[in-house]
Amino acid sequence: MANPSAPRQKGIIQTPEERVKNFDPVVKGLTAQTAKAEAQRCLNCKNAKCSAACPVNVKIPEFISLVLKDDMGGAASKIMETSLLPAICGRVCPQENHCEGACILNGRFEPVAVGLLERYVADTAREQGVLKAPEPSAWTGKRVACVGSGPSSLSAAAELRRAGHEVVVFEALHDYGGVLRYGIPSFRLPREVISKEVETVQAMGVVFERDVLVGASVTIEELKEQFDAVYIGSGAGLPTMANIPGENSVGVYSANEFLTRINLLKAYKFPEVDTPVNIGKRVAVLGGGNSAMDAARCAMRLGPESVTVVYRRSLEEMPAREEEIHNAMEEGIKFEFLTVQKEILADEKGRVKGLVCTRNELGEPGPDGRRKPVCVPGSEFTLDVDTVIVAIGQKPNPIIPKKTKELKVTSKGVLEATEFGETSLKGVFAGGDIIRGGATVLLAMKDGIIAARKINEYLGVGNDY
């Protein structure tokens, strides 16, 4: 019998005092016993609201019942029918906006911990050696190139390979995974998990080439000649700076730089590794999204006296994942809400010595329904900080559109594409942050799958595989 009123399982969580001293996973995940207990809370709904609210419609009640039957291989395959990177999604999806937010138990009880169950299934199936990569169909004779190795290209590549095409992924960096690798820290998403998911795609026969910057090492035109279709999943890797005076002072990082040093190049282990990162005594992080939370929490783990997040709206409007905001607060990170940066002050050596801010109040709702922050006159004050990390957003990297004149971009710099990922250039498709300008892992994956199916049609092989 289902037992929805039982307490929601949380996994083993490192205490805040412990975890700010390391980069190990904050949540250790469920055990066989707690996973079963959590699975038992699910009502196995007929018209499952959770599945409907998941952007890729993971068959949630179905996989949860397989957990109860101890069939981890079956449960993993069930999830992977629609989501190819379950160990990742279980960890980084904003579940409160999707599956868990829609769970029928909400209101009376706490929702089923779908994310934790999903990652438990993927991890355990992998440990038991029963996680099966989808079987590729017979070779279609077609070749497809995927640009970038973030979640969008990874899922497109897997889907295309499954249809039987030869697929090559080209990645500009020296390691695969996109933001998963260089942006999201190991205490949220262990590096081995990314590597394992990539290996699964490799095991399907997808070929990976690193150190290839498309647009420089090879052009889209050339890829079009060498391949029958091209999928661009190059992400939103261009940091938005705050454009305030003093931003080029020593001690100002973009979140991309700070996170890349720490997550891609492991600078938190310096001097054991060769890439350094600096952290001052008092750190300010500008922004309120996932990047800001990740930058603040990475900063905290490098041992400064204080880390303060400066966000121009209020807590309710913060776009970061709920769990991460909660974790950040527990870890002792301070928040200055309704506050906006004006200027970075530097000493005579050009090093950051302060951040001038003003206070906002919330005004009338804007076109997006969110109340617009308005500056309070005379509210200027200075935060005493020596490091500033700018995490106020990112835009698509312009390298590819600049070198490919026929590719149309919108005023926001994102590639123009139909809902199926078709760009203005025949045979070239795109998805993920390069067309959305910054979204979520799951939406990027979903784009990859939808475009892959459109590519199948374009190549005349259909989607019956």
- As measured in angstroms, the least distance from the Cβ of 207 to ligand SF4 is 26
CB 434 within 8 A of CB 234: yes
Cα gap 245→66, rounded to integer Å:
57
- As measured in angstroms, the least distance from the Cβ of 173 to ligand FAD is 5
Give the distance, in angstroms, between the CA of residue 445 and the centroid of all CA atoms in the same chain.
10
Which among ligand SF4, ligand FAD, another protein, none contacts residue 54 (Cβ within 5 to 8 A by kind)?
A: ligand SF4
- As measured in angstroms, the least distance from the Cβ of 275 to another protein is 5
- The answer to whether 195 contacts another protein (rule: CB under 8 A) is no
CB 214 within 8 A of CB 147: yes
267-296 residues in contact with another protein (CB under 8 A) are 269-276, 278
CB 146 within 8 A of CB 169: yes
Q: Look-up: residue for tokens 């025949």?
A: 426
- 84: CB partners within 8 A, 6+ apart: 134, 154, 155, 158, 159, 200, 201, 445, 449
CB 308 within 8 A of CB 336: yes
| φ and ψ of 119, to 5 deg | -70, -35
Cα gap 79→101, rounded to integer Å:
19
Binding mask 41-60 for ligand SF4 (x = CB under 6 A): -xxxx--xxx---x-x-x-x
Q: What is the DSSP string of 239-260?
A: EPP---TTTTSBTEEEHHHHHI
Which among ligand SF4, ligand FAD, another protein, none contacts residue 439 (Cβ within 5 to 8 A by kind)?
A: ligand FAD
CA nearest to 389, candidates 286, 248, 241, 280: 286
Burial of 39 (0-12, 13-18, 19+ CB in 10 A): buried
Which among another protein, ligand FAD, ligand SF4, none contacts residue 308 (Cβ within 5 to 8 A by kind)?
A: none
What six digits make up the tokens of 402?
Answer: 């600049």
User: What percent of the residues of the chain are helix, what percent strand, and what percent coil, each to the nearest 5?
Assistant: 35, 20, 45
Q: Are strands 166-170 and 371-375 parallel, antiparallel or unpaired?
A: unpaired
- As measured in angstroms, the least distance from the Cβ of 104 to ligand SF4 is 4
User: Among 400, 417, 450, 455, which residue interacts with ligand FAD (rule: CB under 6 A)?
Assistant: 400
- As measured in angstroms, the least distance from the Cβ of 238 to another protein is 6
CB 182 within 8 A of CB 151: no
Which residue stretch of 6-14, 177-185, 242-250, 455-463 sits at the interface with ligand FAD (rule: CB under 6 A)?
177-185
- As measured in angstroms, the least distance from the Cβ of 432 to ligand FAD is 2
Which among another protein, ligand SF4, ligand FAD, none contacts residue 90 (Cβ within 5 to 8 A by kind)?
A: ligand SF4
Helix (H, G, I), strand (E, B) or coil at 390: strand
8-state DSSP, 351:
B
User: Among 187, 253, 337, 429, which residue interacts with another protein (rule: CB under 8 A)?
Assistant: 253
106-165 residues in contact with ligand SF4 (CB under 6 A) are 112, 114-115, 118
Closer residue to ligand SF4 in complex, CB, 85/430: 85
- As measured in angstroms, the least distance from the Cβ of 418 to ligand FAD is 17
Which among ligand SF4, ligand FAD, another protein, none contacts residue 149 (Cβ within 5 to 8 A by kind)?
A: ligand FAD
156-185 residues in contact with another protein (CB under 8 A) are 172-174, 182
Closer residue to ligand FAD in complex, CB, 110/171: 171
Q: Look-up: residue for tokens 């038991």?
A: 128
Q: Given the rule CB under 8 A, which residues bind another protein?
A: 172-174, 182, 210-213, 216-218, 237-239, 241, 247-248, 250-251, 253-254, 256-257, 260-261, 265-266, 269-276, 278, 349-350, 397-399
Which residues make up the interface to ligand SF4 (CB under 6 A)?
42-45, 48-50, 54, 56, 58, 60-61, 83, 89-90, 93, 95, 98-99, 103-105, 112, 114-115, 118, 442
